[in-house]
Structures are given as C-alpha cells and as structure tokens.
Amino acid sequence: MNLNLSIVNSPRTDGARVLRAKAALRAELDEPRRQGQTIGLVPTMGYLHEGHLSLLRAARAECDLVVMSLFVNPTQFAPGEDLERYPRDEERDLRLASEAGADFVYAPAAAEVYPDGFSTAVEVGGNLTEVLDGDPARRGPEHFRGVATVVAKLFNSVGPDVAYFGQKDAQQAAVIRRMARDLDFPVRIEVLPTVREADGLAMSSRNAYLGSEDRERAVALSRALGAAERGAREESLQAGLDAARRELESAGIEPEYLEARDAERLQPVAELNGRPVLVAVAAQVGGARLIDNVLIRP
C-alpha cells in the first residue's frame, strides 16, 4: 500500500515525515522556529479516529507546521490494564495523519522516551489527579503522573506554540492546563469538542473492544449525559444526575462514577453556580472501559 510517506531523513513530498528520534525532530523544527513559524502539536496514542483528525485539521488551519505524536505511553497504564492489547495500526495512522495535514509524525520507541535509568516524573497535585479517573480505587493518580510526564517531554521535544486535546478526556485536559501553567510552558492548550458517532457515542480508540450488543448499549452513556444536562437546566443538578442514572440502568450499565464537578478545579458541585460544570461518567461496557462527559456552561 502506498502511503505517500517519507521516512526519517528523506525529503518531504506530499505526506507526513516520520521521525523516530527526538534529536531528529528538534533538528527539523529549529529552522522553522527561527523563522517565526508557529508549531502545533497533536499528542496521540494512535489508532486514529475522527476525534484525532479534528484536532489535526484544527492545527493545520491555525499553524504553519503540524506535529503529531504517535506513542502508546506505558507509564499511564496500571498493571493489569490494556497496554499490550491497546489497538495499534501504525500504517493506517500514518496515512490518516498525512491526509489530515500533519507535517511530521513523531513515533518514538519506548526506549527513546524513557531511556535506561529514567527516574523522573511530573506530578500535578491537588484535587485534579485524585478524583474521577484519578481516584485510587479506579485508575489512580499514577495514571495522570504518566500522562503529565509524557506530555511534558513532548512539549520539551517539540516546543509547540499550541497543543491540541479533546474534550472527551476532560480531566486529562485540566491536568495538562495546570501543568503548563505551573511549569511555565510557553504553549497554548486548545481543547476541542468531543467528536461523536451518528448515534451519539463518543469516538474512542477503545470502542474497538465493543461487540455489537455492547456497542448498542454503550450509547446509553451519551443519552445519560444529555439527560443530565436537561435535568440540570430545567430542575436541578441532582435531578439531572438522577435522570442520567436511570438512563444507564435501563441499559444495564453500572457506572464507575457519575459526578458533577467544577470544570476547571474538579471540585464537587451541588448546583449550577455560574461556572462551567462538568458532568463526567465512566463505565465498563463489555470489554471496554469508556469515559464521556458533558460541559454545562452558564
């Protein structure tokens, strides 16, 4: 299959140039940066879907150069999670990245990101990483330590002006915003809306784990969030959460969590208070652990 891609040090033609080493990536970006070109970064773990592609297109529209990272980050997976079976298809990902406008795909090996003796981590403290997915009874704060560490390394390797993330991973986006602010990374964090299937299911690489019956049941997550927003606006936030739980129960889904929190601080909220409120849900549906959320703006 002809992907129209160039590899490592060959001249770029129509496709994205694939780089495996951070030294090569930095060398490629040095001159454009000196010329004042803007650099956009889209971090991904691959197995691209329309959500990723929407980020790439936004970066293409706003930036002179677009870098997509393609790296399944082992430090954000806990023992027993799906690191080994996480879906991968590099050939397809490179083709789609090129079609969406990426100039460079940074696809390092794990040893390039975490060389022998690596012993440093970036940890965002406080409420952001210890609730929702970061609750020790769920994925735990170690998950976000892995996320923050790899994204910090990407920021240092790429030096982007703008980095693009999806609203589906709202807690991750909040953690990255805080990290960039606290550590003075000179990068703008852009969070774009969740992209959904026609029936409302949030696009996710892990949707590949769903069988046909579970795929139908999984749509209850987006229905539940819609019910939560309607109930919150028409009656109360608690009424919205109750309506959401009924939607999940009707599909035989028991949520790991279904919570309303301040969208920036992730503190629990009991009512709409003039600030954006995040209603977030996570649930195991068949072989897939799915997350989704709705942002209720004032």
User: Which residues have CB under 8 Å from 291's CB, separation 6+?
Assistant: 133, 168, 169, 202, 204, 280, 281, 282
**Does residue 52 have an active-site annotation?**
yes
Cα separations (Å) of 183 from 124, 148, 202, 234?
10, 11, 31, 41
Phi, psi of 42 (to 5 degrees): -120, 100
Comparing CA positions, the residue from 14, 74, 65, 72 lying closest to residue 41 is 65
Whether 37 and 62 have beta carbons less than 8 Å apart is answered as: no
For residue 255, what are the β-bridge partners? 283
Could you give the CA distance from residue 130 to residue 41 in angstroms, rounded to a whole number?
A: 27
The catalytic residue among 17, 52, 95, 245 is 52
The two structure tokens encoding residue 116: 């022998």
Catalytic residues: 52
